[in-house]
Structure 1
Amino acid sequence: MRKLVSLFFIVLCVTAFAQERPNMVPEMTEIWDPEVSVVDPGETPMDAPSDAIVLLGADKAFDNEWTNGNGGEPGWNFDNGVATVKSGTGTIKTKREFKDFQLHVEWRSPEEVVGESQGRGNSGIFLQGIYEVQVLDNYNNRTYRNGQAGSVYKQHAPLVNACKAPGVWQTYDIIYTAPRFKADGTYFTHPRVTVIHNGVLVQNNVEVRGPTEYIGIPEYSVKPHGDGPLILQDHGNPVSFRNIWIREL
């Protein structure tokens, strides 16, 4: 008797749901407006699409988009679209500030191998000037896993080591979602980062715990912030950069 009552209840529910569901046609789930915006892609994945901001290119004056860490003239060497760290001149940063974005960066460690571990081809890309994606020559060069190329420095090791040999140009394609903050200054949502290194996924939409710290715990130094610049690091090695473009999302 109990099974019969249960079966009757199920049939009753299914019948009621079927009566409430409208007779649907395909057009009822088609969304036409607003129309999706058109973006002309580059000829290759390395080329900037039509809605990108080119921050570093052969036909662009270096100091149009970049300053040194104090807002003055950048001290790095610049030749035919390639910016190379000049040791001791400090970081460079964009004049523009960004929030959520798609970023393309090409970088090259020196062909002549000098040093080992963190002392070899070291630089970094700081998203919003705060969260670092590590640049390092990790071709046959062992270091701590959460500090090698493609890492979110000291937070997330890359899924794999996709480094090319010293002196060969490499690519990072980075998708970044900026944090949002609560009224008390803590994260409402953390930053999130995806990194594709030389066409290989090495960070898969990871949650960044907090600002990059060489010593200490990221969560301890969280401060609410808005848009921020891209910063390229002077770590004492002559790392080169070219063809940097960004799409605001």
Structure 2
Amino acid sequence: MKFKILTVALLFVAVCAVAQDERPQMVPEMTEIWDPEVPVITPGETPADAPSDAIVLFDGVDIDREWTNGDGGPVGWKVADGCVTVERGAGIIQTKRAFEDFQLHIEWRSPAEVVGESQGRGNSGVFLQKRYEVQVLDNYNNRTYRNGQAGSLYKQHAPLVNACKGPGEWQVYDIIYTAPRFNEDGTYFTPPTVTVLHNGVLVQNNSKLRGPTEYIGIPEYSVEKHGADVIQLQDHGNPVSYRNIWIREL
């Protein structure tokens, strides 16, 4: 009996060995994915130029086509020389369209005449989904708290480096944003994440936000379940200018 069991076991091992030898060998084509084909777009002539799949939010001429004030009325900021400039007291401006995940290109300039220091010098901000601020500030030879300077996710993440140009020079933010997803109870399932290149330099590397931007208080205490929402530019009382604003929905 033991002999029969041993014989069967040996035959089983032999069959398995043959079966393994007969398995097809991997070839390159087995891991090649052809469909669906990757969409074709036309890139801009330079990294600053909008690619063919972008929505141009401001072309230097018509601000009211894509923007409104906080009440849904006309923009109260000044448009001249290919840019739009904060008018003190006019309040924020915001896009007419709502966005979720996106790549945003925006160029900004602090005033050439230096007035004030710390947070009082060339202050504005880009609010993603009107809740999460990428700080705009003149930090060229102007020290302030590290999580409130240019390129910071205000009061949450300091920039990796200070890449500011001098007052009156045009600067660039390229922002890649992934919107949060929520649990049923309104808490984050996945938090919002932000990558920022300031003048071509990485200053935020897939940084995770704890909650909406707060000037006073702890951000996660004010988390509010939301979907797609607008982009806002802040009126902080300084005549900061913006130009060449475009966005790609991801």
Q: TM-score, normalised by structure 2?
A: 0.91
Secondary structure of the residue aligned to 1:220 is helix
Q: CA–CA distance in 1 between the matches of 2:19 and 2:126?
A: 55
Code of the aligned partner of 1:62? I
Secondary structure of the residue aligned to 1:37 is coil
Q: CA–CA distance in 1 between the matches of 2:19 and 2:136?
A: 57
- Cα deviation, residue 24, structure 1: 1.2
Q: Is the 8 A contact 1:42 1:50 kept in 2?
A: yes
- Cα deviation, residue 23, structure 1: 1.3
Given the superposition, is the C-alpha separation of residues 135 and 16 from structure 1 closer, same or farther in structure 2, using an over 3 Å criterion? farther
Q: Is the 8 A contact 1:55 1:244 kept in 2?
A: yes
Secondary structure of the residue aligned to 1:62 is coil
Alignment of 1:132-171 (within 5 A): 132-171=133-172
Moved more, 16-25 or 87-96: 16-25
Q: What does the per-residue CA deviation read over 1:56-80, in whole Å, with 9 as the maximum and x for residues that have no partner?
A: 113x511011111111111100114
Q: Cα RMSD between the aligned structures?
A: 1.6
Q: What does the per-residue CA deviation read over 1:87-145, in whole Å, with 9 as the maximum and x for residues that have no partner?
A: 00000000000000000000000000000000000000000010000000000000000
Alignment of 1:169-248 (within 5 A): 169-248=170-249
Given the superposition, is the C-alpha separation of residues 16 and 44 from structure 1 closer, same or farther in structure 2, using an over 3 Å criterion? farther
Aligned to 2:57: 55
- Cα deviation, residue 81, structure 1: 2.9
- Cα deviation, residue 19, structure 1: 5.0
- Structure 1 unmatched runs, 5+: 1-14
Code of the aligned partner of 1:25? V
Q: CA–CA distance in 1 between the matches of 2:180 and 2:31?
A: 33
Secondary structure of the residue aligned to 1:219 is helix
| Number of residue-to-residue matches in the alignment | 235
Aligned to 1:30: 32
Code of the aligned partner of 2:27? V
Q: Is the 8 A contact 1:56 1:81 kept in 2?
A: no
Q: TM-score, normalised by structure 1?
A: 0.91
- Cα deviation, residue 22, structure 1: 3.5
Q: CA–CA distance in 2 between the matches of 1:128 and 1:20?
A: 57
Q: CA–CA distance in 2 between the matches of 1:22 and 1:236?
A: 70
Code of the aligned partner of 2:138? D
Aligned to 2:42: 40
Moved more, 216-225 or 79-88: 79-88
Code of the aligned partner of 1:237? N
Given the superposition, is the C-alpha separation of residues 238 and 35 from structure 1 closer, same or farther in structure 2, using an over 3 Å criterion? same
Aligned to 1:98: 99
User: Which aligned runs of 4 or more in structure 1 are off by greater than 6 angstroms?
Assistant: none
Given the superposition, is the C-alpha separation of residues 21 and 217 from structure 1 closer, same or farther in structure 2, using an over 3 Å criterion? farther
